Structure 1
C-alpha cells in the first residue's frame, strides 16, 4: 500500500488525475473503475480540463462504476448515471455505450444483475485502475461495515449513517433509495491498480483504520491492505490520525523517483 499525503484536496485531485491520464496514455484499451460522491468530483474536473486541452483522449476507454441505487431510473437526477453524465461523460469523448453501471430496477433479479455485471467486467479484460472514495464508516462502494471480504456485485442495504450522509442530496418529500447495487469487495480487489482518494477531517478515523487497523469487515476499506498495487492519496486533514506520517512521506519520495524513471505502472 502506497500512502501519499498532500497539502489539500486540490492537490489530491491533481495527483490522482496524473495516474488516470498516465494509464489512458499507456493502454490500448484501458478499463477504468469509477466512483461517485463528493470526493471524485474534483478529479473529474481535472480530467475534463485535461481532455479540453488535448492532453488525454477517452475515445478508447471503457468504464465500470462501483454502484447505483436500486430501482431508480437512469434519467432520475439522483441516479449515478446522471451524476456521471453531468460530471464527466457528457464533457469528454468517451463512447457512452462503453460506460457501465450495476443497475437493478423493479422486476429485475438482483442476483442475475450482479452476475451479468461481473461478466461484463471479465469480457472487458478486467479493471485496470479502480477509483475509490471512503465513507466515514469505512465503506468502499456501498460495501457497508460487516460486508463479506469475498463479496461480489450484489444488492446491499444502506446503513443509517450512509442514508443520513446522503440525505442532503434529497428533498424531504423525495424518495431516497435504501438499497443499492454495488461491486463487492472481492470485485474491487480484482482491479490491477486501486486509487483511493480521501479528503477532510471527517474521513480521518476511517483512513487510519483502513491503513493501520486490523483487516476486518468492520472497516471494509481495510481489505485494501491485501492489494498489491493500492495507492492511497490523502490531504493532511484526512491523514491527521495517522501516527507514522514521517515514514509514509519518506516512502512516497522514494516511489516518486521510481515513477519518474520507470512510469506509474508495471
Structure 2
C-alpha cells in the first residue's frame, strides 16, 4: 500500500488526477473504473482541465462505473450516468459507447447484474479502479455484510448511505433517494491492476483507519483492499491519520 497525504482537498484531487492521467498517457487504450459522489469531483475537474490544455487524450479510453441507482435512467439528473456525463464525459473526447454504467432501468435485478458482469468480463481486468469510501466502509455500494460481495449485486442501501447520498445529490430529501442500487462486486474490484482509494475530510478519518489498520472483515468492506497488491490511498490531512501512513511502511 502507498499513501499520498496532501494538505488540502484540491491538492489530493490533483494527485489523484495525475495518477490517472499518467496511466492514460502510458497506455492510451487503458480501462479505468470510475466512482461517483462528491470526493472525485475535483479529480474529474482536473482531468478535464488537462484535456482542454491539450495534454490528455481520452479517445481510446474505456471506462466502467462502480454503480447505479436501481430505477433511475441515464437522463435522470440524479443518476450516476448523468453525474459522469456532467462531470467528465461531456467535457472530454471519450467515446461514450465505451463508457459502461449498470442499467438502472432494468427492473429484473438478476438480469441487470448478469448483464453488467458480462460487460466486465469482456473488458478483462481494469488498469485502474478509482474508489471513494462510505462512512460505514462501503466501496461502490458494497455495504457491510456477512460476506464479501463478489459479483455485481442489487444492494439494499443502508440508512446511513441513503442519508449521505441525500445530502450529496437529493438536496437532503431522503425520501427521494432510491433504496436499492446495482453495484460492481468486490471480486471484480480486486482484479484491477491498481486501486486508488480517495478520502478527504475529517468525517472519513475513522473509517479509513479502520479499513487499513483494522482486521479484514466484510463488516468493513474496504478492508479487503489490505489484500490487494497495489493500492494507493490518497487524501488530505484531515482524512489520513498517522496510523494509516505508518501502516504503509
Name the TM-score, length of structure 1 as normaliser: 0.88
Query: Do the aligned partners of residues 143 and 40 (structure 1) sit closer, same or farther apart at CA in structure 2, a change above 3 Å counting?
Result: same
- 2:2 corresponds in structure 1 to 2
1:122 counterpart = 2:116 = no
Matched position secondary structure for 2:81: helix
In the other structure, the counterpart of 2:221 is 220
Tell me what 1:86 maps to: 86
Secondary structure, in 3 states, of the residue corresponding to 1:194?
Answer: strand
Determine if contact 2:166/2:174 at 8 Å carries over to the other structure: no
**Would the aligned equivalents of 2:66 and 2:183 in 1 still touch at CA under 8 Å?**
yes
CA distance in 2, matches of 1:18, 1:57: 13
Offset, 1:239: 1.4
Q: Distance in 2 between matches of 1:30 and 1:43?
A: 18
CA distance in 2, matches of 1:230, 1:246: 15
Q: Whole-Å Cα distance in 2 between the matches of residues 45 and 28 of structure 1?
A: 19
Aligned counterpart, 1:161: 160
Structure 1 distance, partners of 2:57, 2:193, is 21
Q: Which runs of 5+ in 2 are unaligned?
A: none
Return the offset for 1:150.
4.7
Q: Are 1:186 and 2:187 matched, yes or no? A: yes
Q: Is the alpha carbon distance of 1:147 and 1:234 closer, same or farther for their aligned partners in structure 2, counting shifts above 3 Å?
A: farther
In structure 2, the residue corresponding to 1:21 is in which secondary structure? helix
- The CA distance in 1 between the partners of 2:146 and 2:112, in whole Å, is 19
CA RMSD of superposed structures (Å)? 1.7
Unaligned runs of 5+ in 1: 252-266
For 1:213 and 1:60, locate their aligned partners in 2 and report how far apart those are by CA, in whole Å.
39
Find the counterpart in structure 2 of residue 40 from structure 1. Answer: 40
Alignment of 1:130-209 (within 5 A): 130-146=129-145, 148-168=147-167, 169-170=169-170, 172=173, 175-209=176-210
Aligned-residue offset at 1:174: 6.4
Aligned to 1:17: 17
The structure whose Rg is larger is 1
Asked if residue 236 in structure 1 is aligned to residue 237 in structure 2, the reply is yes
- Are the counterparts in 1 of residues 24 and 61 from structure 2 also a CA contact under 8 Å? yes
**Counterpart in the other structure of 1:262:** none
Separation in 1 of the partners of 2:104 and 2:72?
A: 8
TM-score (norm 2): 0.94
Superposed CA deviations along residues 181-212 of structure 1, whole A, max 9, x for unmatched, are: 00111111011110110000000011001110
Alpha-carbon distance between aligned partners in 1 of 2:34 and 2:161, rounded to the nearest angstrom? 19
**Cα deviation code 1:94-132 (max 9, x no counterpart):** 01111110123253x222221221221222232110000
Aligned mates of 2:28, 2:21 — CA distance in 1: 13
Q: Contact conserved, 1:155 with 1:180, CA < 8 A, in 2?
A: yes
* Residue of structure 2 in register with 1:96 after alignment: 96
Q: What is the rounded CA distance, in whole Å, between the counterparts of 1:147 and 1:221 in structure 2?
A: 14
